[in-house]
Structure 1
């Protein structure tokens, strides 16, 4: 008979088949964990049984744990342990289906150029060897690691479809010692250490429903994340409607506006709007004036089949979410890294 396997520490559950070892069930569902001998001798695949009944072939063991107060967990080996009922387990270091391995790599710095008064475009090249190669999803970010050990996160501004080439958009803040150190390193060294990939706010073109409309809301250098995702969609001939909103204080902060304008001219499903909030400091500005949430609400009367990807400060992201919720938008349809590092206060 089939049984449920609840992985307590990550909140996932899966169905195991009668006679399967715990390892076989996990691997059949696409999970990966460290294994060695596969016969219980090396003890590498040890997991903690919290609740349920199991039989283990080596070392021979039969356990039945109930969900009671002060109940201690027991170590079992995934390769020789067979559940006899629904079980709850804790598995450290488990790699979930579709999850990419995070790696520390030394990358070549191939170019650094100024895009406006304070934003640099940095181009890196990932290592070519298979053992040191890295994968990422469109919308994820990486950490730059300086020789001092200090590190800073930046959205990846290129699509995974572009192979080993990675692009970053980095704003230089002269009053920040860390920012100065990052720019100095990138301008004067040939390589930089990175940790990649990171972030749960990403998109895969083949998983999007055919009737979904996508809205991308970017503030300032948040456009890097949007660029990665949109280029991934276009590389995969994505035909759903794509609406891009790029907001900034002044016109010069929209540092790559010709690129999304080109997307819109070449693809009928792409729409691009620039929004400036301080028009008094942009004397030649003839476009939309105001804040991103207002611009989006002016253009959308309903949010049926809409998913929003928001890249910006917590204040911007939550202001947009609340404004859209007032028109019936559901929070689960908004995606942003902000939700991970600055959870919403309810």
Structure 2
């Protein structure tokens, strides 16, 4: 049996078919609600159910605070209606000319950026239109049906290519191929299948608020795409990038980020390392990267934050920025990079 979902405050409505989640049904209807991992491992798709019955699944109890659950908040990527619903979502956008598509791609280049990070350049079919907002991601559809998501690491160009930053995850089904571990290493000219673009992580250009970019590890990739698009478009909103890694080598394009300071007026870069060793000779900021933001900006009430990286960092930033720094919840935009381990924990 299908059910109707009405969205406040905008008044949009869509139908959820049997077996669909609220998020999947919204996307199928051309309505883009905030989302990232789609597995229940982050809280980007957090929304409030005003009325109606639904199956929330197990993930919200692991991700959301007890007070949020009591007020009716849930994860829309997991919620399955058992009646008509009325929900509140902080932002609803029409899909517009950016359409999610499946297509074959050819591996054009494999370029090491660090011992554990490789940039993959994919050649798209020249006849295919692949439009995306810098910050969005795509998913590889593996031969066994499993999926692995990676953000585009550059803004759209006219050469029909996309670039991705892939970190080696020991034992990972896809990253082992990328790094040549196992019997079937990924090679230039190999054909892969993708679906995209996905996600609601992209710069909101209807605001002139100063920006905080927050990245850990390869969470730098989509933020790189956003900043490079700002350079192309001449956007000069004040912005600070905080990029965190365990050791200095994890900041694998540190020199590029420093170049942006000279090229983009009002831009500043703050690298942060959490586990530097004596031999690293590190003299910069130390500790958790989101804590560095809080030290520098105890009042975030007038800013917009774009955070990308490990779910634990993203969720800590979401919570602490709102509770301790006055950041409005609607001004926190995030993309959590979920590994297979994160998916298993989330029950995906």
> Which residue of structure 2 lines up, in the alignment, with residue 50 of structure 1?
none
Displacement, 1:177? 3.5
User: What is the alpha-carbon distance in structure 1 between the residues aligned to residue 129 and residue 275 of structure 2?
Assistant: 43
| Residue 180 to residue 151, structure 1, CA distance change in 2 (3 Å) | same
Aligned partners of 1:250 and 1:281 also within 8 Å: no
Q: TM-score, normalised by structure 2?
A: 0.67
Aligned partners of 1:142 and 1:195 also within 8 Å: yes
Alignment of 1:1-346 (within 5 A): 8-9=4-5, 11=7, 13=11, 96-98=94-96, 100-129=98-127, 132-161=128-157, 164-184=160-180, 185-187=185-187, 189-204=189-204, 207-210=205-208, 212-280=209-277, 283-325=280-322, 326-338=324-336
Q: Deviations over 1:82-139 (max 9, x none)?
A: xxxxxx9xxxxxx93536211111112111011111100111122211xx22111111
Kindly tell me the number of residue pairs found equivalent between the two proteins.
259
> Which residue of structure 2 lines up, in the alignment, with residue 44 of structure 1?
none
Q: Deviations over 1:224-249 (max 9, x none)?
A: 01111111111110011111010000
Compute the RMSD of aligned alpha carbons: 3.0
Q: Deviations over 1:296-343 (max 9, x none)?
A: 11211422331101111221112222322212112211011249999x
SS of corresponding position for 1:157: coil
| Residue 309 to residue 220, structure 1, CA distance change in 2 (3 Å) | same
Aligned partners of 1:139 and 1:156 also within 8 Å: yes
User: What is the alpha-carbon distance in structure 2 between the residues aligned to residue 268 and residue 100 of structure 1?
Assistant: 30
User: What is the alpha-carbon distance in structure 2 between the residues aligned to residue 155 and residue 282 of structure 1?
Assistant: 32
Displacement, 1:266? 1.7
Unmatched 5+ residue regions in structure 2?
Answer: 14-28, 32-82, 87-92, 344-348
Aligned partners of 2:6 and 2:12 also within 8 Å: no
Aligned partners of 1:122 and 1:169 also within 8 Å: yes
User: What is the alpha-carbon distance in structure 1 between the residues aligned to residue 158 and residue 274 of structure 2?
Assistant: 34
> Which residue of structure 1 lines up, in the alignment, with residue 20 of structure 2?
none
Moved more, 168-177 or 253-262: 168-177
User: What is the alpha-carbon distance in structure 2 between the residues aligned to residue 225 and residue 127 of structure 1?
Assistant: 22
Q: TM-score, normalised by structure 1?
A: 0.67
SS of corresponding position for 2:268: strand
| Residue 223 to residue 162, structure 1, CA distance change in 2 (3 Å) | farther
Displacement, 1:160? 2.2
Higher relative contact order (CA 8 A, sep 6+): 2
Unmatched 5+ residue regions in structure 1?
Answer: 1-6, 16-30, 34-71, 74-87, 89-94
